[in-house]
Amino acid sequence: MSDSDRNYALALHGGAGAVAGRDYAAVEKHLAGLAGTCESWLADGRSALDVVERAVAELETSGLYVAGRGSAPNSAGYVELDASIMDGRSRKAGAVAALRDFISPVQVARGVMEKTPHVMLAGKGAVEFARSHQFAEVTSPNDYYVLPVGVTRDDLSDIAHGTVGAVALDTSGALAAATSTGGTFGKLEGRIGDTPLVGPGTWADDNVAISCTGTGEHIIRAGGAASIAFRFRSGISLPDAIREMLDEVKRLGGDAGVIAVTSSGDIAMPYNSEGMKRACVSTSTPLTVATFG
């Protein structure tokens, strides 16, 4: 079978923090355009790893989500960024946590994966690594970030927000996942959620690629993405495996959403929050974008 005969699949999310009654038309338009671009990359034979990295980098720089440019400041008044990426075939992974003032945390996370023997760098060490490898820096934080210091989630009536993620199956059969966030509103300085944690926030293996969004503390305590993958590997269907993890998040008092693609090209995008900004497309699924319903 040639590569071009094989399936590809892609799902994107812009966060499970969507609030009923708000207008997400601009976000949905952006997600639809990006999913279409990613589809053409996958159809051209680009690797799942490249596609999820590029997709998340675009989501980060758009300013439409609480990741990269759209991130909100922490309780100390500055932005700390978290991101992770994982390649299912090699099981290699990279992550950054509490990273300050780089344009694309997911690109730095991939740098950690490819240029160090480590999986995660945090804080000052992450900044020094990113600087030494010349990743693009935010030179004027006050001008770059969309949300000014002091803005809370309740003030955000006309600004879309949410962690971002991408999962993909490429035509060689490889899976990859990536997730990036500015974290939760009002978080303490140094707080790290599920997003940069390879396991809870992001996971990819030979069977499935998963990116989570929602209240990170609850996702971590519920096991998150890897716990879904392990259920799926043991023979539980993907919808049931995801539902069990989401039910556990709910039982613990949080809410969350998940995007997942399997090696067969199946896609799942369930959530138990009010809504989740999301898009998907595959060789057998037309491009779909939604926030609620």
Which positions are catalytic? 163
Q: Which of 58, 194, 248, 266 binds ligand ASP (CB under 6 A)?
A: 194
> Which is nearer to ligand ASP, 58 or 194 (by Cβ)?
194
- Rounded to a whole number of angstroms, the minimum distance from the CB of residue 184 to ligand ASP is 5
From residue 187, give the alpha-carbon distance in Å to each of 50, 165, 183: 31, 20, 7
> Which is nearer to ligand ASP, 58 or 255 (by Cβ)?
255
> What is the number of the residue whose Cβ is closest to ligand ASP?
216
- In a 3-state reduction of DSSP, which class is residue 288? strand
Residues 2-41 that bind ligand ASP (CB under 6 A): 15-17
Cβ atoms 274, 26 nearer than 8 A: no
Contact flag: residue 70 with ligand ASP (CB under 6 A): no
> Which is nearer to ligand ASP, 94 or 216 (by Cβ)?
216
Contact flag: residue 68 with ligand ASP (CB under 6 A): no
Q: Hey, what are 186's tokens? A: 């009002």
Burial class (CB in 10 A: 0-12, 13-18, 19+), 141: middle
Distance separating alpha carbons of residues 170 and 176, to the nearest angstrom: 9
Stretch that binds ligand ASP, among 86-94, 169-177, 213-221, 274-282 (CB under 6 A): 213-221
Within 69-207, strands assigned E span 81-87, 92-99, 120-122, 164-169, 175-181, 202-204
- Rounded to a whole number of angstroms, the minimum distance from the CB of residue 117 to ligand ASP is 26
Stretch that binds ligand ASP, among 71-79, 117-125, 192-200, 278-286 (CB under 6 A): 192-200
Cβ atoms 48, 164 nearer than 8 A: no
Residues 6+ apart with CB under 8 A from 248: 222, 223
> Which is nearer to ligand ASP, 15 or 94 (by Cβ)?
15
> Which is nearer to ligand ASP, 46 or 250 (by Cβ)?
250
Q: Which of 181, 227, 262, 273 binds ligand ASP (CB under 6 A)?
A: 181
Q: Which of 68, 105, 111, 216 binds ligand ASP (CB under 6 A)?
A: 216
- Rounded to a whole number of angstroms, the minimum distance from the CB of residue 89 to ligand ASP is 26
- In a 3-state reduction of DSSP, which class is residue 254? coil
Residues 112-171 that bind ligand ASP (CB under 6 A): 162-163
Q: Hey, what are 230's tokens? A: 């392990």
Cβ atoms 94, 119 nearer than 8 A: yes
Contact flag: residue 193 with ligand ASP (CB under 6 A): yes
Distance separating alpha carbons of residues 122 and 148, to the nearest angstrom: 24
- Rounded to a whole number of angstroms, the minimum distance from the CB of residue 105 to ligand ASP is 12
- In a 3-state reduction of DSSP, which class is residue 31? helix
> Which is nearer to ligand ASP, 42 or 280 (by Cβ)?
280
Task: Give the total of residues touching ligand ASP (CB under 6 A).
Answer: 15
Stretch that binds ligand ASP, among 20-28, 112-120, 179-187, 226-234 (CB under 6 A): 179-187
Residues 6+ apart with CB under 8 A from 150: none
Number of helices (H), then strands (E), belonging to the chain: the values are 8, 12
Contact flag: residue 213 with ligand ASP (CB under 6 A): yes
Residues forming contacts to ligand ASP in the complex (CB under 6 A) are: 15-17, 162-163, 181, 183-184, 193-195, 213-216
